[in-house]
Amino acid sequence: MSEEIRVSETNAATGETVVRVLEGSELEAFLADRAAMQAEQEAREEAAAEKAVAKAAILARLGLTEEELATVLS
Amino acid sequence: MGRTRDVSKILTSNTSILSLASASSTYQTKAAAGLTLLTPTSIVATGGSATSSISSTGTVSFTSASAISLNDVFSTTYDNYKLLFVGTTSLENTINLRMRVSGADNSTSNYYFQRTLSKNGNDVQGGEALATTSWAGFNTNTTNTIIEVELFSPFLATATTFLGRYEKVETLATVHETGTLSGIHNVASSFTGVTYTVGGGTITGTISVYGYNK
């Protein structure tokens, strides 16, 4: 069973709110888009994690702590 | 004399005529300088249990939305805008911004941005994202997130650019993150609205859009 996604649109002038449920291709597009955004975010987090590992390795080679590096960069 | 009386009768009997007094109570006043809080024509909240509303002054409030869209808030009246978000997300996540026109998001791969952030005063990170489908990278949490975006030329038929920053504070002593972002939508398109969306979980908060008077 697919997830139910409701969309409510409120008109500023009238204050009227219309609620509908996403269906068919519109629902598929929403779910695909959300999955793509999540994938993009995971990719960014993965890249950041790899960078953090590389940074830690360099600091270890230099014999510096994060705090010492921050002091150097400040 | 008769003509004056006729005009007087028209003015007193026709209550739909706009006067200075009724205009000031009906329409927002354009400030001579500085910022003007704008009211979107409509808002769209997406999500299973999302609720949303527009205050009389224009600020948009919403709860539990996967995405919140503001329609027709950018126009020829202003070139540049300030967007303020105050709120939380149901999961520690990232809010993404998308430009919007004719009631639909622009989700083409034309969003470019870079970000630097610092956590707890000493963990500094940087990165960039090219040809993505939104301006992402506004990290959020479940306790306290603020996002400020300066948006340049969204309505003009030129590339849209932004400068942004966010702050998320969970507990002052333990988790404190500040990020600065900048980016471009590199297509010369005119946009009239914006969407705040999140890849997972939901967003709760308020959004205010101000126009910089030219």
CA dist list (Å): B195 to B50, B63, B88:
15, 15, 16
Average pLDDT, chain B: 88
By residue range, what is the domain housing residue A56? 6-73
Of the candidates B211, B107, B119, B203, the residue with the CA atom closest to the CA atom of residue B166: B119
Residue A1 has pLDDT above 60, yes or no: no
Examine residue B69 and state whether it is found in any structural domain, yes or no: yes
Predicted structure pTM score: 0.82
Taking CA B197 as the corner, what is the angle to CA B195 and CA B200, rounded to the nearest 5 degrees?
A: 170
Examine residue B2 and state whether it is found in any structural domain, yes or no: no
Which pLDDT belongs to residue B5? 74
How close does chain B come to A23, measured CA to CA in Å? 13
Examine residue B126 and state whether it is found in any structural domain, yes or no: yes
Structural domain total, chain B? 1
Residue B76 has pLDDT above 80, yes or no: yes
Examine residue A1 and state whether it is found in any structural domain, yes or no: no
The two three-digit tokens of residue A46, written as one number = 């993965």
Structural domain total, chain A? 1
Least confident of A38-47, B36-45, B81-90, B98-107: A38-47
Beta carbons of B123 and A38 less than 8 Å apart: no
The answer to whether B70 and B60 have CB atoms below 8 angstroms apart is yes
Mutate to test the interface with A, among B37, B43, B56 (most CBs of A within 10 A): B43
Predicted confidence band of residue B4 (pLDDT cuts 50, 70, 90): confident
What are the residues whose beta carbons fall under 8 Å from the beta carbon of B99, sequence distance 6 or more? B105, B106, B154, B160, B185, B189, B191, B193, B194
Examine residue B9 and state whether it is found in any structural domain, yes or no: no
Query: Percent of chain B at pLDDT above 90?
Result: 63
How close does chain A come to B46, measured CA to CA in Å? 4
Q: Any chain B CB within 8 A of the CB of A11?
A: yes
Residue B16 has pLDDT above 80, yes or no: no
Predicted confidence band of residue A4 (pLDDT cuts 50, 70, 90): confident
Residues of chain B with Cβ-Cβ distance to A45 below 8 Å are none
pLDDT in tens, B153-203: 999 999 999 999 999 987 656 678 999 999 999 999 999 999 999 988 899
ipTM: 0.75
Examine residue B5 and state whether it is found in any structural domain, yes or no: no
pLDDT in tens, B124-149: 888 888 999 999 989 998 889 999 99
Q: What is the mean pLDDT of residues A28-48?
A: 86
Beta carbons of B136 and A40 less than 8 Å apart: yes
Least confident of A40-44, B29-33, B181-185: B29-33
Which pLDDT belongs to residue B10? 64
Q: What is the mean pLDDT of residues B105-112?
A: 94
Examine residue B102 and state whether it is found in any structural domain, yes or no: yes
Query: Percent of chain A at pLDDT above 90?
Result: 31
- Give the rounded distance of the alpha carbon of A57 from its chain centre: 27
Beta carbons of B136 and A51 less than 8 Å apart: no
CA dist list (Å): B42 to A13, B2, B70, B193:
8, 47, 6, 10
CB burial string B60-90: b at 16+ within 10 A, e below: bbbbbbbbbbbbbbbeeebbbbebbbebbbb
Residues of chain B with Cβ-Cβ distance to A22 below 8 Å are 46
Examine residue B56 and state whether it is found in any structural domain, yes or no: yes
Residue A38 has pLDDT above 60, yes or no: yes
Residues of chain B with Cβ-Cβ distance to A47 below 8 Å are 127
**Cα dihedral B135, B141, B147, B153 in deg (nearest 10):** 20
Examine residue A43 and state whether it is found in any structural domain, yes or no: yes
Residue B112 has pLDDT above 90, yes or no: yes
How close does chain A come to B122, measured CA to CA in Å? 5
Examine residue A39 and state whether it is found in any structural domain, yes or no: yes
- Give one DSSP letter per residue of B150-200, joined into a string: EEE-SSSSEEEEEEEEEEEEEETTTEEEEEEEEEEEEEEE---EEEEEESS
By residue range, what is the domain housing residue B98? 35-212
Chain A residue whose CA is closest to B128: A44
Residue B212 has pLDDT above 90, yes or no: yes
How close does chain A come to B9, measured CA to CA in Å? 31
Which pLDDT belongs to residue B199? 81
Examine residue B162 and state whether it is found in any structural domain, yes or no: yes
- CA dist B55 and A12 (Å) reads 9
Residue A55 has pLDDT above 80, yes or no: yes
